[in-house]
Amino acid sequence: MSRIPIREGLALASQEIEIFNNTEKDIRIGRIVVSCPCLGIEMPEKLVRKKSKSKIAVNLRLNSRDINERKIQAYFVPEEKSLDPLLLVVTGSSDFMAYTDLEVINFGTMEKGVTKTREIGVFLPGEKEEHDFIKKLSLTNEKLFSASILETGRTKKINGGSPYYLNSITVQVRLEMKEKPQATQDVLKVECANGNVLTIPIGWYFYEKPVFEPNVKSYLLIDLQPGEARTFQVVYNEDVGGDFAGIKIRGSGLSLSGMTRKGAGVRIELKYLAPEKIRDGKVAALEVETKSGKNHFLDVIADVQAPDAMRVRTE
**Domain check: are 289 and 242 in the same one?**
yes
Which of 2-11, 18-27, 190-199, 232-241 shows the highest mean pLDDT? Answer: 190-199
pLDDT reported for residue 79: 61
25-45 pLDDT, tens per residue? 888 888 888 887 778 888 878
Residue 313 lies in a domain: no
Residue type, 158: I
Question: In this structure, what CATH number is given to the domain that contains residue 297?
Answer: 2.60.40.10
112-159 pLDDT, tens per residue? 788 999 999 999 887 788 888 999 999 998 889 999 999 999 888 775
**Domain check: are 103 and 147 in the same one?**
yes
Give the largest CA-CA distance in the chain: 105
E-state strands within 178-218: 187-192, 197-206
- The structural domain count of the chain equals 3
Alpha carbons within 13 angstroms on the beta-carbon side of residue 239 total: 6
Residue 202 lies in a domain: yes
Is residue 62 very low, low, confident or very high in pLDDT (cuts 50, 70, 90)? low
Residue 241, H or E segment:
helix 238-241
pLDDT reported for residue 182: 75
pLDDT reported for residue 252: 72
Q: Percentage of the chain with pLDDT > 90?
A: 15
Residue 249 lies in a domain: yes
Q: Which of 304, 104, 145, 161 is nearest to 222 (CA)?
A: 304
Residue 310 lies in a domain: no
**Domain check: are 232 and 201 in the same one?**
no
Is it the case that residue 275 has pLDDT exceeding 60?
Answer: no
Is it the case that residue 160 has pLDDT exceeding 60?
Answer: no
Range with lowest mean pLDDT among 16-20, 252-256, 258-262, 293-297:
252-256
**Domain check: are 103 and 201 in the same one?**
yes
Residue 85 lies in a domain: yes
Is it the case that residue 308 has pLDDT exceeding 50?
Answer: no
DSSP string, 151-206: EEEEEEEEETTEEEEEEEEEEEEEEEE-SPPPP---EEEEEETTS-EEEEEEEEEE
* Average pLDDT score over the chain: 76
pLDDT reported for residue 162: 63
- Boundary (domain end) residue, out of 38, 62, 95: 95
Residue 153, CA distances (Å) to 124, 166, 169, 297, 306 in order = 11, 8, 6, 49, 22
**Domain check: are 105 and 121 in the same one?**
yes
- Boundary (domain end) residue, out of 80, 95, 110: 95
Q: Percentage of the chain with pLDDT > 70?
A: 73
pLDDT reported for residue 227: 62
Residue 315 lies in a domain: no
**Domain check: are 181 and 252 in the same one?**
no
Higher pLDDT, 18 or 160: 18
**Domain check: are 12 and 87 in the same one?**
yes
**Domain check: are 107 and 184 in the same one?**
yes
- Boundary (domain end) residue, out of 44, 77, 95: 95
Higher pLDDT, 192 or 268: 192
pLDDT reported for residue 274: 57
Is it the case that residue 183 has pLDDT exceeding 60?
Answer: yes
Is it the case that residue 296 has pLDDT exceeding 70?
Answer: yes
In angstroms, rounded to a whole number, what is the distance separating the alpha carbons of residues 249 and 283?
11
Q: In DSSP terms, which residues pair with 31 in a beta bridge?
A: 75
241-267 pLDDT, tens per residue? 888 888 888 877 778 888 888 777 788
In angstroms, rounded to a whole number, what is the distance separating the alpha carbons of residues 228 and 251?
18
In angstroms, rounded to a whole number, what is the distance separating the alpha carbons of residues 33 and 39?
10
Contact 133, 194 (CB under 8 A): yes
Is residue 212 very low, low, confident or very high in pLDDT (cuts 50, 70, 90)? low
68-121 pLDDT, tens per residue? 677 888 888 766 555 678 888 877 655 667 888 888 898 877 877 889 999 999
Q: Beta strand 86-95 with 4-7: parallel, antiparallel or unpaired?
A: parallel
Residue type, 59: N
SS3 state of residue 240 = helix
Contact 43, 56 (CB under 8 A): yes
pTM (2 d.p.): 0.46
Contact 220, 213 (CB under 8 A): no
Domain interval for residue 57: 4-95
Is it the case that residue 7 has pLDDT exceeding 70?
Answer: no
In angstroms, rounded to a whole number, what is the distance separating the alpha carbons of residues 285 and 79?
78
Is residue 202 very low, low, confident or very high in pLDDT (cuts 50, 70, 90)? very high
**Domain check: are 80 and 104 in the same one?**
no
**Domain check: are 201 and 225 in the same one?**
no
**Domain check: are 195 and 238 in the same one?**
no
Residue 20 lies in a domain: yes
Residue 214 lies in a domain: no
Alpha carbons within 13 angstroms on the beta-carbon side of residue 23 total: 8
**Domain check: are 291 and 264 in the same one?**
yes
